[in-house]
Structure 1
Amino acid sequence: MDANTSAPPLDAKRMGTFEFSRTIADLPAPKGLPLVGSLLKLSGRQFHLTLADWIREFGPVFRLDVMGHQLMVLSEPAAVEGLLRDRPDGFRRTSNLKTSMGELKIAGVITAEGDDWRKQRRLVMGGLNAEVVRNFFPTMVVITERVLLRWKTAVAEGRRIDLHRDLKAMALDVIVAIAMGQDIDAVNDDGNQVQRDIDNIFQRLGARNATLLPYWRHFKLPVDRAADKSADDIEQAVIGFVKDARERMAQQPQLRQKPGNMLEAMIAASENPESGFTDQELISNAIMSVIGGEDTTANSMAWMINLLAQNPEAAATLAAEVDAVLGDAPVAREWEWLKQLPYLEAAHSETQRLRAVAPFMGFASNADCVVADTFVPKDTVIFVANTGASQDEAHFPQHELFRPERWIFDGKPSREEDPSRKVFPFGAGPRLCPGRFLALTEIKMVLAMLVRNFELVPDLDAPPVEQLLNFFVGPSAVPVRLKLRAR
């Protein structure tokens, strides 16, 4: 295992079969407090911004001293890519994160490691691959038209639109439909319980990750009990979806050979004794798909709408592209149309550069190794800033500006010029996000519908939008009003 980015210098050190020029103790570090070091700064809903400040001050590789332990922070693009590609064999998720997620019944492929992960990955990927998403496209058109009607009606009646809430509801409708085969219509159900439960779980997970002492393992506050109830309620809802799917498959045996959604595929696999896929893994991955498929996609769209509203020239360019592809259609009704929106894809990539919903991840090394020419002992915690290069002028000139054009090239860019080699919003390597294709399809559908039918008008009286870290990073609000476009 070696995630080096270059050959070691001539004065390299050696330890066993490893060659390197420095140890973690040789790295620069922010000044900490006696005994606890930087511990107190590793909490709060702004930790990702603190991490970004440290990267600007100390560079792409530095250390944190925490309670006598040395942690590594890594943001150099080639080294980050190397580490991500060396999972799950070389690196694993930190045990604290896995435990915190498990306490709220978030498990499945997202927390599995080693052979257990490989087994579950095959099943989840089979339920979210390009062919499945393409077959699901007509349903996504219906859900998108449902949102369009809701927004048009609200504009006509002069009612305020809570864009962030509606985006979350649509993302929930999409993932429940493609993964569970159920239409819950959360978009038009302002009090949808599943959506409230998911929001509650992520708020509590974020709060727990920002809390230094895990008090809830000894006594629980009302918010902890509420989060536990939300986790139980989602589990019961998913168990109900599983029951419905099994009854449907009993009536339609052909679904075992040709499943219609991810849940049916996992049920068919779990019924094969050779798969080793248990009922608990089935339920865990079903829960994971519902919870994980809502927040990330909705926050990505919310950030993109905020940035487009603040950059009217980019919004106009995007609208012109969408108009040319969709013609008179209010939404993208043909699958092939989505392939003809390069500026929309570029705007999404630029949004992820500036406002990544998962700006960092925590890992631990499975064995002694060398990362970025630094010797890393076994079980060392490494914070990977997978968008660390996004604020670096050397990689992205005028990095503070929203410029989708920086992602568009006449031909294939060189490795050095390719921005996709510098930021990794969906990860990289074997553990690349299994839902990325679905997320990108949904984002294209919604943003194309939005700019085809509405103008984005910033609410100038609204307070500045904050970046809030729960488990993912989302905007504090989407202070944007919609105005029907003149045809």
Structure 2
Amino acid sequence: MDQYYTAITTALVICIIWCIKISLNPARGTPPLPPGPRGLPILGYLPFLDNNLLHQFADLAQRYGPIYKLYLGNRLCVVINSPSLVKEVVRDQESIFADRDVNIAALAASYGGKDIVFSPLNSEWRTMRKILAREVFSNNSLQGSYNLRKEEVRKAINRVYKDAGKPVHFGELSSRTVLNIIMNLLWGSIVEGEECERVGEEVREVITKLVDLLAKPNISDFFPVLARFDIQGVKKETEGYVQSRERIYDDIIARRRKMSSGEIKRDGKKDLLQVLLELQEKEDPEMPISLRQIKAILMDVVAGGSETSATMIEWVMADLLSNPEVMEKVQKELSEVVGLNSIVEEFHTPKLKYLEAVLKETMRLHPAVPLLVPRSSNKTSVVGGYIVPKGTRVFINIGWIQRDPSIWDSPSEFKPERFLDGNEKYNFSGNNFHYLPFGSGRRICPGLPLAEKMLMYLLASLLHSFEWKLPDGKTVDMSATFGIVLRKTTPLLATPSPRLSEPNLYA
């Protein structure tokens, strides 16, 4: 019997030594895994993560270079930190890295990955993307919906004017305005006036909670074997907010179905919800769409458009209040292009080159989604000379790339002038891999055309209509709270005073 145990022990020792040898010396010709920090058995690098994940990932990029790995629980994660390797992932090998790595909360929020953001790159995704591109984000659609955007911006200007001299919570102002614009585009004629405000607040509360849950660390994501226990209650909490969202959408859709064709159109144009419902009723084999997909599209446009755009507007204002000389240049440009006896129109915005540079510089320093939405490799591949196994979670670290000192001069300084020379080189198209605030490839943000127009128009209107100052004794806290959306840690307060020549310009 002793000999039996001795033999078993010897065999186990030999197996362990062999496994260690293989891991340290892979077969000739087989690329190694990327370098990366050591973790603990079972837990991986999880115990070493801190709250400032963006700075931590930047430190790791400086230490390990353009690509590194870390295990979070039993999940292998690879972080891409250089423009050339980003190109490999999003262009050269896009078919391998086009799918999403969807966590438990995202699955619950997106009907099991049935929306545009989290869906795999399949026929359903292509259909939804095509509908959005044609019905909402095409040039004709954006031009046709200008009056709807203008209406909400003018309401916001009027509200601020009535309370001029009182500090404004800039995040709430931008969030409410952007959300009202988006709801106007989606289902504008269904709820109006005070009811629109009520529904908007309900939607904003639900969407904010869902976005927070998408980024909440969840043990079920790091150890899938534990997912059925939902130890932290993330899935249950997400499903609760999804039910609240469903009640809102079901009510909106039911009202829309009861409306006559004459009630539906605004400015001679159907809103997106009506277009989607008509497509569903036609049962067009070329563009099939289910009620669940309709709700998923509404969710993506509302959540993706409102959270990121509102956050960026608050960051722009924070940067301007921290740099009064830049604020002065922006308002000088507005005075010259628009004039103090006129209001801003969207046709002015292409001429506002300095404001555009300010927006681009803010997006460089504070990208709304600094790690983009994680991707997943659908088969084993090689990136930068390192093997990336099938099922790896892949982060594209634009938060680091857009501050990399080997790419950018004085990378931590707010210098809009860097975007004035060769401005077209740094557009939002995703073709310059040094600068990717909206992503790149087929997974680039689908709402980019609307976001670009909306951000410039709303910023120009607020900055042209008012002088903005910090409340007495206040300074701007530029610290950020990391999540799927990079929010300011401390909400920005700013006090407006009228700037235009006539009171009727605020009507």
Query: Structure 2 length as normaliser, TM-score?
Result: 0.80
1: CA distance between counterparts of 2:379 and 2:343?
Answer: 51
Alignment match of 2:47 (pick from 40, 52, 58): 40
Which residue number in structure 2 is paired with residue 145 of structure 1?
A: 154
SS in 2 for 1:300: helix
Which residue number in structure 1 is paired with residue 298 of structure 2?
A: 286
**Contact 1:259-1:265 at 8 Å conserved across structures:** no
Return the offset for 1:383. 1.6
Return the offset for 1:450. 1.8
SS in 2 for 1:62: strand
SS in 2 for 1:482: strand
Return the offset for 1:108. 1.2
The structure number with the bigger radius of gyration is 2
Equivalent residue letter for 1:314: V
Distance change (3 Å), C-alpha of 1:252 and 1:217 = farther
Alignment match of 2:136 (pick from 128, 138, 141): 128
Alignment match of 1:426 (pick from 421, 438, 443): 438
Find out whether 1:270 has 2:245 as its counterpart.
Answer: no
Query: Structure 1 length as normaliser, TM-score?
Result: 0.83
Equivalent residue letter for 1:475: K
1: CA distance between counterparts of 2:193 and 2:223?
Answer: 39
2: CA distance between counterparts of 1:166 and 1:253?
Answer: 30
Which residue number in structure 1 is paired with residue 352 of structure 2?
A: 341
Return the offset for 1:160. 2.9
SS in 2 for 1:155: coil
Find out whether 1:396 has 2:408 as its counterpart.
Answer: yes
Deviations 1:81-135 (A, max 9, x none): 34223686222444442x4212134651111122221121111222322321221
Equivalent residue letter for 2:132: V
The residue correspondences of 1:83-94 to structure 2 (distance < 5 A) are 83-85=89-91, 89-94=95-100
SS in 1 for 2:494: strand
Alignment match of 1:101 (pick from 106, 114, 117): 106
The residue correspondences of 1:303-452 to structure 2 (distance < 5 A) are 303-328=315-340, 331-333=343-345, 335-360=346-371, 361-409=373-421, 413=425, 420-452=432-464
Distance change (3 Å), C-alpha of 1:119 and 1:83 = same
SS in 2 for 1:192: helix
Deviates more, 1:345-354 or 1:321-330: 321-330
1: CA distance between counterparts of 2:152 and 2:411?
Answer: 35
**Contact 2:382-2:388 at 8 Å conserved across structures:** yes
Which residue number in structure 1 is paired with residue 9 of structure 2?
A: none
Find out whether 1:482 has 2:495 as its counterpart.
Answer: yes
Distance change (3 Å), C-alpha of 1:188 and 1:154 = farther
1: CA distance between counterparts of 2:44 and 2:386?
Answer: 21
Return the offset for 1:167. 1.0
SS in 2 for 1:243: helix
1: CA distance between counterparts of 2:431 and 2:86?
Answer: 14
Aligned residues: 457
Which residue number in structure 2 is paired with residue 80 of structure 1?
A: 86
Which residue number in structure 2 is paired with residue 118 of structure 1?
A: 126
Distance change (3 Å), C-alpha of 1:223 and 1:119 = closer
The unaligned stretches of length 5 or more in structure 2 are 1-27, 502-507
Higher RCO (Cα < 8 Å, 6 or more apart): 1
1: CA distance between counterparts of 2:90 and 2:412?
Answer: 26
2: CA distance between counterparts of 1:290 and 1:321?
Answer: 32
Find out whether 1:295 has 2:307 as its counterpart.
Answer: yes
**Contact 2:179-2:200 at 8 Å conserved across structures:** no
1: CA distance between counterparts of 2:449 and 2:311?
Answer: 16
Which residue number in structure 1 is paired with residue 19 of structure 2?
A: none
Equivalent residue letter for 2:468: L
SS in 2 for 1:110: coil
Return the offset for 1:410. 5.2
Distance change (3 Å), C-alpha of 1:81 and 1:410 = closer
Equivalent residue letter for 1:100: A
Deviates more, 1:127-136 or 1:170-179: 127-136
1: CA distance between counterparts of 2:313 and 2:393?
Answer: 31
Return the offset for 1:304. 0.8
Which residue number in structure 2 is paired with residue 231 of structure 1?
A: 242
Find out whether 1:261 has 2:268 as its counterpart.
Answer: no
Equivalent residue letter for 1:247: K
Distance change (3 Å), C-alpha of 1:412 and 1:394 = same
Deviates more, 1:127-136 or 1:304-313: 127-136
Distance change (3 Å), C-alpha of 1:220 and 1:93 = same
**Contact 1:319-1:451 at 8 Å conserved across structures:** yes
Distance change (3 Å), C-alpha of 1:79 and 1:265 = farther
Distance change (3 Å), C-alpha of 1:301 and 1:463 = closer
SS in 2 for 1:90: helix
Deviations 1:183-206 (A, max 9, x none): 556896699222222222222333
Deviations 1:183-237 (A, max 9, x none): 5568966992222222222223332458857888536879876654332122221
SS in 1 for 2:163: helix
Equivalent residue letter for 1:123: I
